Structure 1
Amino acid sequence: MIHNELTIDDFLSRFQMLRPRSRTPTRNLRQAAVLIPIVRRPTPGLLLTQRSPRLRKHAGQVAFPGGAVDASDASLVDAALREAREEVGIPSQRVEIVGVLPAVDSVSGFQVTPVVGIIPPDLHYHACEDEVASVFEMPLQEALRLGRYHPLDIKRRDGDRRVWLSWYQHYMVWGMTAGIIRELALQIGIR
């Protein structure tokens, strides 16, 4: 549990000093990346999107900006930055990349690499209406509080799967997004 207010410097020193927890190897081969945008404020925020209800997959879900790697992307980091620029208008040159988390498998068949980046507080977001219904910020300290995430075990043909879920305001944060946030909290030693 965090007793003092988490600052951006606290977050960065914890993130950069601690090695990622070992993960189960991923099975999916198609590559994707998401940007975990941390807003540099005295009280840092975590930028999230709610996907458009018109999308074919994961409609209406809370997510990080991100998507599949294109042939034009030089790296997974470039893919995450491109997607953040396309989806919410975050200029790539305004993102300070601080590292990556271990890749996770998505239910849609992608191996997703979370890229952690710090963004300035003065950005004006421009949501791509075809992909993003809304952009919102959650206090980072609240996002990293492990007690807010509740397990849900789902039985599928390909085996049992545990997903995590939580609420923030009127948004339900669950699935891969909640799992990534929870892993970030575990990596930086937040209990």
Structure 2
Amino acid sequence: MRADARANRAAILAATRELYATRGPDVPLSAIAEQAGVGAGTLYRHFPTQQDLVVGVVEWLSTTIHDLCGRWLEPMRSDPATAWPGFAADMVELKVAAFMPRVVEGVDIDDLLPQIVERRDAALAAVGEVVELAKGAGLVREDVTAVQFQMGLAVTTRPLPAAAHALVPDVGGWLVEVYLRGLRPD
């Protein structure tokens, strides 16, 4: 794929994540194209259908999680106490809880399930490697799975009303800190 085509695809996926998070899955594809700074024809060349766009977002997420986990493996081996909160912070920055539930809301999930499950499993395997290192360092209870870690992080980081941020500045960071402390062995 040419560099400009890769850039357009990345811009479309970023716009999709942002607009799904803020407006939901019913956002028109024309709004996604406009947000991405591309024409409708470019969007449809990359993603001919809404389901293709969903698969694109899921592929992006799986690849991004896999890459992120790969970057944290060595720090988790050498200094897990410092690396673990950094890894969690990077996972939070993906803002999965803001857009992913909305991504799958707007499509026939049964048609996409095999592709989504395959990508999800690949991402969870990568997360599992980091979670296992955290367990070995005594930072996470032995009974915590990658799925539980990921789901707990998603629930902890789901978007909150603006009033929550006004009442408790950095409430998101505080919630993640409390969540990570709750994962520790007794």
Q: Name the structure where helix makes up a greater proportion of residues.
A: 2
Greater strand proportion: 1
TM over 0.5: no
**Which bracket does the TM-score occupy, shorter chain normalised?**
under 0.3
TM-score by length of 2: 0.27
TM-score where L is the length of structure 1: 0.26
Q: Which has the higher contact order (CA 8 A, sep 6+)?
A: 1
Query: Which protein shows a greater Rg?
Result: 2
